[in-house]
């Protein structure tokens, strides 16, 4: 499935490309890492030729470039422009579940339970640096 761009996001990108004098530029998206709350993404303006193994999609007049490894995690995602009363920016909606993450202690980040345990504990936000059920700070690792 392609990576798509909403009409709102496309409008913002056209404006940004124009302001930077790069009307023919493309949008590069990638998976920037995996945190306690799922994938983290990167986006940037690409005005160079894509790499040979990159995939290019076009949606609402915007060409989107993605590398093969990121595509395996982002297939079917949508880049959108989101506005609320306090913030505005790009957002990526990804229908693919992120791999389960766990703290180095074996506790599940942001869930308050140790892997294989019934113990519950209060936890902070489900972001990297949140507290884990062990009482320490999550140093998330992908569970193998």
The CATH number linked to 29 is 2.60.300.12
Band of residue 30 on the pLDDT scale cut at 50, 70, 90: very high
Residue 80 near residue 6, CB atoms below 8 Å: yes
109 lies in the same domain as 40: no
* pLDDT above 90 for 58: yes
pTM to 2 decimal places:
0.67
Tokens 């993605």 sit on residue: 66
Boundaries of domain holding 122:
99-144
Are both 39 and 84 inside the same structural domain?
yes
How many domains does the chain divide into?
2
pLDDT tens column, 62-103: 999 999 999 998 999 999 999 989 999 999 988 887 765 555
């Amino acid at each position: 499935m392609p990576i798509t761009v909403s009409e709102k996001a496309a409008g913002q990108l056209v404006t940004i490309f124009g302001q930077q004098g790069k009307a023919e530029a493309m949008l590069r998206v990638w998976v920037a890492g995996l945190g306690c709350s799922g994938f983290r993404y990167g986006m940037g303006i690409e005005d160079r030729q894509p790499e040979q193994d990159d995939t290019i999609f076009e949606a609402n007049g915007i060409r989107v470039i993605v590398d093969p490894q990121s595509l395996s995690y982002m297939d079917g995602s949508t880049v959108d422009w989101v506005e609320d009363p306090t913030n505005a920016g790009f957002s990526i909606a990804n229908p693919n579940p992120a791999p389960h993450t766990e703290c180095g202690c074996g506790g599940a980040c942001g869930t308050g339970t140790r892997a294989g345990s019934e113990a519950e504990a209060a936890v902070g936000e489900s972001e990297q640096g949140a507290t884990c059920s062990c009482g320490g700070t999550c140093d998330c690792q992908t569970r193998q």
